[in-house]
Amino acid sequence: MPTPGILKGLAVTIRRFLETYIGDLKRFPHRYAPEGRYRRLRPGERGAFTVQYPEERLEMFPRFRGALMQLTDPQTGLPKCTACGICARSCPVGVIEVVRAPEKREGKFVPESYTWNLAPCIFCGLCVESCPFGALCHSPEFELSTYGRGDGQLIFDLARLLALGRKYAPDGVPPVEQEK
């Protein structure tokens, strides 16, 4: 014989299921209310919220720690990075390697090569915080999976990091600063 506690829990589960099911029928043929796509459920709210990924996508939060990106100076078009290597030294895992170019370009040092190995990265953000020139920041890019580790797609070079920077911050301002 089931105990009263189990029956009470089952009743709560059935009630919430029916509330969600009836709510979905009210919005048929759409899966969710149009305004629901632009807000997230708060802890006190009820209801299922389903997005048909990858056809429909939600915007990431401005402070989301996605793939790293290098910013460029809008006046000169050069990377803001001066290859000082502070980001590489502050990384607890050691996934960043910076090589400074032997000569200056337009009066400042630039990186000859800059590599970021995504596989062991823990996305802690210490490299971004430690950059004194604001040349490094996180992008909203989160679809970084690949089928294998040996194909080189998990290692980002300077050109790939700059391309992400041009895509998400064409004016050289990080996405977090654009929200302010």
pLDDT tens readout for residues 17-28: 888 888 777 766
Mean pLDDT to the nearest integer, 6-12: 91
Q: Is residue 29 part of a domain?
A: yes
pLDDT exceeds cutoff 70 at 1: no
Mean pLDDT to the nearest integer, 120-128: 94
Mean pLDDT to the nearest integer, 147-166: 88
**79 and 140: one domain?**
yes
**43 and 76: one domain?**
no
**50 and 80: one domain?**
no
pLDDT for res 43? 59
**29 and 106: one domain?**
no
Cβ-based neighbour number of residue 86 at 10 Å: 17
**7 and 79: one domain?**
no
Mean pLDDT to the nearest integer, 12-18: 90
Q: Is residue 138 part of a domain?
A: yes
| Domain closes at, from 10, 28, 58 | 58
Q: Is the peptide bond before 54 cis (omega within 30 degrees of 0)?
A: yes
What are the residues facing 70 on neighbouring strands? Answer: 136
pLDDT band at 127 (very low <50, low <70, confident <90, very high): very high
**133 and 107: one domain?**
yes
**102 and 53: one domain?**
no
Q: Which residue has the higher pLDDT, 148 or 86?
A: 86
Per-residue DSSP letters for 41-100? Answer: --TT--S-----TTTS-PPPPTT---SEEE-B-TTT-SBS-----HHHHH-SS--EEEEE
> Could you tell me the residue range of the domain that residue 99 belongs to?
68-179
Among 2-6, 56-60, 163-167, top mean pLDDT goes to 163-167
**109 and 152: one domain?**
yes
Q: Is residue 50 part of a domain?
A: yes
Q: Which residue has the higher pLDDT, 60 or 154?
A: 154
Q: Is residue 140 part of a domain?
A: yes
**122 and 48: one domain?**
no
In CATH, what number is assigned to the domain containing residue 118? Answer: 3.30.70.3270
% of the chain beyond a pLDDT of 70 = 85
Mean pLDDT to the nearest integer, 137-145: 90
**105 and 173: one domain?**
yes
SS3 180: coil
pLDDT for res 178? 64
**76 and 131: one domain?**
yes
Report the predicted TM-score, pTM, of the whole model to 2 decimal places: 0.70
pLDDT tens-digit profile of 44-98? Answer: 666 666 777 888 777 788 788 999 999 999 888 889 999 999 999 999 999 999 9
Q: Is residue 63 part of a domain?
A: no
**53 and 75: one domain?**
no
Tell me how many domains the chain contains.
2
